[in-house]
Structure 1
């Protein structure tokens, strides 16, 4: 023993511990993330394989083209809805805006293609801006604001069409009609437009500063504001975008049908929300991607087509199956989200 050594000096020096490093994602975490992001795509592939094995007419060119065309209009609406839901909002007005856009486009087609396209975009986009202003500046609930807009847009539609008794027709030989009924490389023009819009939407949401603001507002609005994100402007923009998409979808649908049908759009807002949620976007906001919404639309249309192929089932079963499927997806998303937080 060394003379003059204290008890503390004789104790072994404690082992210095390095600060803990963040562990790499576990296999379970990676599986949960992949299931949330690509579960709808896997389900779509399985459903299409099963349908093709069960029905000889499912994979025919005519059937696939009809499914793609009918999906195109809902997909454009769902694109705008994706931005809204990622911010944690909801837009119940898109169904009425879709119908209003179609009627305005059919009426404006007599003055040329430019009017047929710009008029519904201007009116529906303006209604979207008003929705965004009331939600962002006045602090009103998105559900109430967009519900009021849904009723108001439907009222404008009825006023334009004399309570629905007047139907505006589109000249079949006009360029505007070509946007709905024409084809390029054997694929309908509305499908090309939809694909282009989704590519643009994916770039905007994932690769631009505005897209970062959208995710930030949906993830935590207060934190986004503290970081300097323009919360109010972002909300106004996404609702304006939703209105523009609904109006454009209605215009393309009018060009496809060569008429402005007043009874369309009823329940479309629920279909769009279902497609977005099925595609992996969280209703609580902060997580989602436009490609998933496109997959969700296609999956809903495949389910509807399979029910039509069966023939013995009433069309009401489409809504039953779609509702049940949506419930399963929401439960699965909730479970996966909790599992990722626990892990």
Structure 2
């Protein structure tokens, strides 16, 4: 049996340091960490572009920049939808297959007019996104499994429409849809302007609307968000529907650009979209992310690809090696910065 000494001094656990008791430089360090996390990819993009401009004569030419911008537009649209999904703490592996499906549906529907060619991929891919959201939000299934099943299902549907890839649907050169994908305005392709408009709308929706606040709240702490009255299930359904819609739209624009629905496209695109979003500063764990960062991440991946093509002696597979290395570095940096900010 233990006894206590009534004359012994009473000890209390040390109190947590108050904000005003923290070192003077901690606030500055925290702001610096946040700045690096948000704009680090932009700094790398500028440095790589500057070095490439001095190293290769054809890199900074108007034609090369225009081609990079146009080819980046389709991945950027997919990455925009992925940004919303990842901020909620989810993942969408179906976007690559939906991209290919959207292109085939747009080319097939172009025989019935531009309106059908645009609305059909949006309706089908958006519906698949809604189903993904319902299964994730209502049935509480793992997003990885749900969207993996959707990826396989969408790819199978695309192959059935094209008779296992034997049929390729073409888009007429003089059609409105072809002009939408192949035309240009002020020296930039129409897909680039559409992408910029979508990102501007996405930034406003994420930062200035209640829907955007709900997206951040769900990703930050789903249980706390539910207690605060945030419609968690509806928010998840909306972000997966948005991801499906944008993947279908990107596929339709890509088909218009190529003047055909190519069945082999979109393979691995979901990984490129996830990489771009994470490189742009969005946390895979959810609760923090930037639309502008995702656009920067896409551009960085495309610049790396273009630099490898400029070198000529390197195989295109090196792009995957470099992209994977960038992603690993960014994830490690995000983890370190997150822990550093918690300690502050």
TM-score range, shorter chain: over 0.9
Aligned to 1:7: none
1:186-197 equivalence runs, <5 A: 186-197=187-198
TM-aligned CA distance change 1:142 to 1:20, over 3 Å: closer
Aligned to 1:322: 323
TM-aligned CA distance change 1:129 to 1:309, over 3 Å: same
Aligned to 1:291: 292
CA distances 1:214-245 after superposition (whole Å, capped 9, x unpaired): 00000000000000000000000000000000
Shift of 1:21: 5.8
Aligned to 1:75: 76
Aligned to 2:46: 45
Secondary structure of the structure 1 residue equivalent to 2:314: coil
Count residues with an aligned counterpart: 325
Aligned to 1:146: 147
Aligned to 1:263: 264
Is the aligned partner of 1:166 residue 2:167? yes
Aligned to 1:5: none
Is the aligned partner of 1:240 residue 2:226? no
Secondary structure of the structure 1 residue equivalent to 2:118: helix
Shift of 1:140: 0.2
Instruction: Write the distance in 2 (CA, Å) between the matches of 1:20 and 1:282.
Output: 27
Assess if the C-alpha contact under 8 Å between 2:70 and 2:188 holds in 1: no
Shift of 1:115: 0.4
Shift of 1:186: 1.7
Instruction: Write the distance in 2 (CA, Å) between the matches of 1:63 and 1:34.
Output: 31
Aligned to 1:30: 31
Aligned to 1:208: 209
Aligned to 1:229: 230
1:88-99 equivalence runs, <5 A: 88-99=89-100
Secondary structure of the structure 1 residue equivalent to 2:264: coil
Instruction: Write the distance in 1 (CA, Å) between the matches of 2:119 and 2:290.
Output: 28
Shift of 1:27: 1.9
Assess if the C-alpha contact under 8 Å between 2:211 and 2:235 holds in 1: yes
Shift of 1:184: 1.1
CA RMSD of aligned residues (A): 1.1
Assess if the C-alpha contact under 8 Å between 2:214 and 2:235 holds in 1: yes
Shift of 1:270: 0.1
Aligned to 1:254: 255
Instruction: Write the distance in 1 (CA, Å) between the matches of 2:148 and 2:123.
Output: 20
CA distances 1:96-115 after superposition (whole Å, capped 9, x unpaired): 00000000000001111110
Shift of 1:20: 5.7
TM-aligned CA distance change 1:277 to 1:20, over 3 Å: closer
Instruction: Write the distance in 1 (CA, Å) between the matches of 2:341 and 2:36.
Output: 11
Instruction: Write the distance in 1 (CA, Å) between the matches of 2:311 and 2:54.
Output: 13
Aligned to 1:8: none
Instruction: Write the distance in 1 (CA, Å) between the matches of 2:19 and 2:76.
Output: 43
Instruction: Write the distance in 1 (CA, Å) between the matches of 2:334 and 2:87.
Output: 15
Instruction: Write the distance in 1 (CA, Å) between the matches of 2:338 and 2:307.
Output: 31
Secondary structure of the structure 2 residue equivalent to 1:88: coil
Assess if the C-alpha contact under 8 Å between 2:103 and 2:253 holds in 1: yes
Assess if the C-alpha contact under 8 Å between 2:66 and 2:187 holds in 1: no
Assess if the C-alpha contact under 8 Å between 2:276 and 2:297 holds in 1: yes
TM-aligned CA distance change 1:335 to 1:21, over 3 Å: closer
For structure 2, the 5+ residue unaligned runs are: 1-16
TM-aligned CA distance change 1:133 to 1:50, over 3 Å: same
Aligned to 1:337: 338
Structure possessing the higher radius of gyration over alpha carbons: 1
Shift of 1:144: 0.1
Secondary structure of the structure 1 residue equivalent to 2:298: helix
Instruction: Write the distance in 1 (CA, Å) between the matches of 2:116 and 2:290.
Output: 32
Instruction: Write the distance in 2 (CA, Å) between the matches of 1:208 and 1:173.
Output: 40
